[in-house]
Structure 1
């Protein structure tokens, strides 16, 4: 099976202030709180304060009745740039070899809005196109943005 490394990124507007969105999304162990459909996200290794090297286990139900299980390691966090980078160390989802991603919250042109950016690098394997993968990630990020807006407005 042939594979090649590639990079992509998607972004979505969030109708909420940057600092509020960052406070929620920077919680490495709290992914299940803001990622729609995530069943759980829990600490496996590392300090409770989520330093570099921390590992989380993420469980998400799949359409076929099974669950995805992903171990992700925090490899950097930069509060001044409102970003963190993580990599998948183990997964039962095909096609995520060599996956590493950065989540960043940026200022938007509109007041009290921000931009949520998801940049990623992975091995693109046979049967998965760049275009389809970016479209999938864009759709997921749009759902995340809407979920964040609902979460924030209900607080």
Structure 2
């Protein structure tokens, strides 16, 4: 994963720190966890997922997700277009970013999922996120994102255990 990004004039700009992380050891083997989690056009099942463009499991694949959990301060259906920006099956890691959405989270929101084998057939799941530079210092959306991400990890454990 990159530690720097190009700035507006080509100079290196530091990547912002993560705003939040959900980390949990789940009772399922790494390969099953990866098989479920890396299916960008099918997981999480809690969401309605529509393919937009690109091939599933390949960087550049874009999806539109709706029925986003976590927000209770709105009556409108929450949706976001998300683009898979990195996927590495060997390292069991993928990253995606928000494009357009109606959640109030600025485009540029970035999330990375990583799975690591633990002893006893268990898997450590780490799902980290950060907001765009304009929202990086705000904690306004952290509860919304943490709530949804925790639900996804719970669903992942159930699906990978079957």
Please indicate the TM-score interval, normalised by the length of the shorter structure. Answer: 0.7 to 0.9
Q: Is 1:114 paired with 2:123?
A: yes
Q: Which residue matches 1:74? A: 84
Larger fraction in helix:
1
The structural deviation recorded for 1:91 is 0.6
Decide whether aligned partners of structure 1 residues 13 and 142 sit closer, same or farther in structure 2, where only a CA change above 3 A counts: farther
Give the one of 95, 99, 110 matched to 2:109. Answer: 99
Q: Which runs of 5+ in 1 are unaligned?
A: none
CA contact (8 A) 1:21 1:105 kept: yes
TM norm structure 1: 0.77
How has the CA–CA distance of structure 1 residues 43 and 21 changed in structure 2, closer, same or farther, with 3 Å as cutoff? same
Pairing 1:148–2:160 present? no
1:42 alignment partner in structure 2 = 50
Distance of aligned partners of 1:152 and 1:126 in 2 relative to their CA distance in 1, 3 Å threshold: closer
Say if 1:93 and 1:136 are closer, same or farther in 2 by CA, change over 3 A. closer
1:141 deviates by 3.5
Q: Distance in 2 between matches of 1:142 and 1:13?
A: 12
- 2:14 corresponds to 1:7: no
- When residues 23 and 126 of structure 1 are mapped into structure 2, their CA distance, relative to the original with a 3 A threshold, is closer
Aligned with residue 100 of structure 2, among 90, 97, 100: 90
| Equivalent residue pairs, number | 142
Q: Secondary structure at the match of 1:80?
A: coil
SS of the aligned residue for 1:125 comes to: coil
More strand by share: 1
Structure 2 length-normalised TM:
0.74
1:44 shift after superposition: 0.5
Question: Could you say what secondary structure the match of 2:43 adopts?
Answer: helix
**Further displaced range: 61-70 or 89-98:** 61-70
- Unaligned runs of at least 5 residues, structure 2: 1-15
